[in-house]
Amino acid sequence: MIATPEEGEPLPEYVLCAANLAPHRPPSSEQDHAPFYHRLPADLGGGAIGQVPFHLHGFACEPPLTNDIDDRAFSNAAFCQLEGVDGATYPIQKIVLDFYGYVRVDDDAGTPDREESPVSVTLESDPGGYDFSRDLDITVRRGSTGDLSRGIIIRGRPDVLLPAAAYVIRPQLGEDHLLLCDGLFDTTPPTPVAAFEYNFKLWSDCNRNGVDDETDITLDPVLDIWPMDGLIDECHPELCEPDYNGDGNVDQDDVDDLLACIGGDCSRVLPQANPDFNHDGNVDQDDVSALINRVAGNGCPA
Ligand SMILES: [Ca+2]
Ligand SMILES: [Ca+2]
Ligand SMILES: [Ca+2]
Ligand SMILES: [Ca+2]
């Protein structure tokens, strides 16, 4: 059955599509040529249903693509496959994108490396910015029933803790590593999946206790004192805060005050300041040298 409802007509419960499908009206106001089904793909049971771009099936994804992004909010630790510490337990998270039909990654272009991915993952606030997909593991899900798959699995990696932010996943544009429809009757030329957007967000749990770091800091303000920047200090040892006397300037006075503190007089240094500027566990002349470097504009200690 090929269904092409007229403008204003309701869609049938589901439609099957074949090659040369005429434009029909999808459930939204968007015009498209793709098949739309009210039923989950698991109910339909088919894959090779025509030479059309497969759409993402929002409600079949895990978590489903609802209107509320809070339904797709994870801690960044859980999404990046990091276990809890100090006895904290929480479920490790992933995203499964589910399509109306079978999908594959274009393997004619070779094995994707970490720089190349079938989807892009960018900040919702900066769609043209850094593509976080290179920091993620993205694989086509293979079930026990064969080589064909409708799903791709997206999850973080323990070596890169993604920042707390709202993200959007889209199919990668360009010629290489396209996300393609699979199991079609006719595979020349290959048919990319239809454009889609799947959004999700991460909240920060950098200390991996299963609690939002904002809540941690509210309950225990000592966690964020040096620098006081809304981030739990122990998670960011690479940050070097140079304003030791807290007057808002970074200058020779800070060097002098740290030097005095190392000599035993910490009266001019902020009480919350950590005099171990280079984080090597010792408070000594090396910290002063590193601070001089920083004040001179030469960056943070290695
Ligand atoms: Ca936390
Ligand atoms: Ca902090
Ligand atoms: Ca200062
Ligand atoms: Ca030191």
Question: Ligand 2 centroid to 131 CA: how many Å?
Answer: 26
Same domain, yes or no: 196 and 264: no
Which pLDDT does position 301 carry in this prediction? 83
Surface-to-core class of residue 3, CB atoms within 10 Å of its CB (0-12 exposed, 13-18 middle, 19+ buried): middle
Same domain, yes or no: 65 and 178: yes
Number of folded domains that form the chain? 2
Which pLDDT does position 238 carry in this prediction? 73
Those residues of the chain that have pLDDT short of 70 are 1-51, 107-115, 143-146
Question: Ligand 2 centroid to 251 CA: how many Å?
Answer: 21
Q: Considering every ligand atom shown, identify the ligand nearest to the alpha carbon of residue 287 and give its number.
A: 4
Question: Ligand 1 centroid to 213 CA: how many Å?
Answer: 4
Same domain, yes or no: 64 and 147: yes
Same domain, yes or no: 67 and 199: yes
Which pLDDT does position 128 carry in this prediction? 93
Same domain, yes or no: 191 and 65: yes
Which pLDDT does position 23 carry in this prediction? 38
CATH number where 156 lies: 2.60.40.1220
Which pLDDT does position 28 carry in this prediction? 47
Which pLDDT does position 101 carry in this prediction? 85
Of 184, 203, 222, the one marking the end of a domain is 203
User: Which residues constitute the domain of residue 156?
Assistant: 57-203
Question: Ligand 2 centroid to 211 CA: how many Å?
Answer: 16
Q: What is the pLDDT of residues 94-153, one digit of tens each?
A: 999 999 888 888 765 455 454 578 999 999 999 999 999 999 999 888 766 667 888 999
Question: pTM for the whole thing?
Answer: 0.74
Same domain, yes or no: 247 and 155: no
